[in-house]
């Protein structure tokens, strides 16, 4: 049985620039088949997760919403994320997607809505961001952010926010960037992006924190797992948490779902966190961060 201290740690939260709080450990449902999603999300709730990361492109928002409604947990205790897909990115498509995600999930509001990737050109990105700002103002979305943006896209977004403030009537009217989501792990640390976010108080979410299992047996990772009597996956989740990130491990296996959350009874030293991080730039997923501004 999970200890009270571990349960409290699992429910630790980070205050976002929007004023809302986000649980620091999330549960991802990327590539989880819709027919399995409700079951695995229920399993995650049973373990103690309260943060579910979905997207329109995952086609499982409806199953996530069903699990949320059936969970018995108060809605305000659950944090649900979705994302605007990058295809034909723009104001109207983003505006339509917010409505579609609300309908699909059956929820009254979405805790966090992200732009999934920086494709579509500058005007498309600005339009999509404006639509999300309006969704926040309408109470349909609580916090907004971006995913897979490179530093060049983040710098551009700051300009778009300033432009929207001027166009829409003053400070705050350009929206608040609360969260950024990227593939981050010791072999794709993205220090430039992490530093950009840290300077502005933007929370960093890390998808593929387990590197899709492709780094099992790496000497330092294996050594630390042996030292602490933990799995290599648990060491990687712990690394992400201690970097101050919000890891989003995913699994459809009930035992692994539990194990990925069982990371609060040990702590890496600062030296071990640094030792585990490599100089490699080796993403295992797509990498839109490198796309040019006019892509």
Alpha-carbon distances, residue 151 vs 64, 69, 145, 234 (angstroms): 31, 37, 14, 29
Residue 125 CA to residue 158 CA, distance in Å, equals: 12
Indicate the annotated binding residues for substrate.
116
Contact (Cβ atoms closer than 8 angstroms) between residue 52 and residue 27: yes
Q: Which helix (H) or strand (E) holds 153?
A: helix 151-168
Token duo for residue 259 = 């194990």
Binding residues, by number, are 116
CB 134 within 8 A of CB 95: yes
Q: Supply 220's token pair.
A: 């330092």
In this structure, is the dihedral angle defined by the CA atoms of residues 204, 116, 236 and 14, taken in order, positive or negative? positive
Residue 110 falls in which region: left (phi positive, over 0), alpha (psi -120 to 50) or beta: beta
Give 124's contacts (C-beta < 8 A, 6+ positions apart): 88, 89, 90
Strands (E), the chain: 13-15, 21-23, 27-28, 51-53, 79-84, 110-115, 141-147, 177-183, 203-207, 246-247
Q: Are 223 and 195 in contact (CB under 8 A)?
A: no
Q: How far apart are CA 270 and CA 239, in angstroms?
A: 10
Residue with tokens 């950024």: 180
Active site residues: 58
């Amino acid at each position: 049985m999970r200890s009270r201290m571990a349960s409290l740690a699992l429910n630790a939260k980070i205050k976002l620039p929007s004023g809302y709080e986000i649980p620091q450990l999330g549960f991802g449902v990327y590539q989880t088949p819709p027919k399995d999603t409700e079951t695995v999300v229920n399993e995650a709730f049973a373990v103690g997760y309260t943060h579910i990361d979905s997207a329109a492109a995952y086609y499982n928002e409806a199953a996530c919403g069903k699990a949320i409604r059936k969970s018995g947990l108060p809605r305000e205790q659950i944090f649900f994320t979705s994302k605007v897909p990058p295809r034909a990115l723009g104001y109207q498509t983003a505006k339509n997607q917010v409505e579609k995600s609300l309908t699909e999930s059956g929820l009254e509001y979405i805790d966090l809505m992200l732009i999934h990737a920086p494709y579509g050109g500058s005007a498309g990105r600005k339009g999509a961001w404006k639509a999300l700002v309006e969704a926040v103002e309408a109470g349909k979305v609580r916090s907004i952010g971006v995913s897979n943006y490179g530093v060049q896209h983040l710098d551009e977004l700051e300009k778009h926010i300033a432009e929207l403030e001027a166009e829409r009537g003053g400070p705050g009217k350009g929206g608040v960037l609360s969260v950024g989501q990227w593939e981050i792990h010791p072999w794709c640390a993205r220090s430039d992006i992490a530093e950009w976010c840290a300077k502005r108080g933007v929370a960093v979410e890390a998808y593929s924190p387990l590197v899709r299992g492709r780094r099992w047996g790496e000497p330092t990772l294996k050594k630390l797992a042996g030292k602490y009597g933990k799995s290599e996956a648990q060491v990687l989740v712990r690394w992400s948490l201690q970097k101050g990130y919000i890891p989003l491990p995913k699994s459809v296996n009930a035992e692994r779902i539990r194990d990925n959350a069982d990371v609060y009874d040990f702590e890496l030293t600062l030296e071990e966190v640094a030792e585990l991080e490599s100089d490699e730039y080796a993403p295992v997923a797509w990498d839109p961060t490198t796309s040019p501004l006019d892509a």
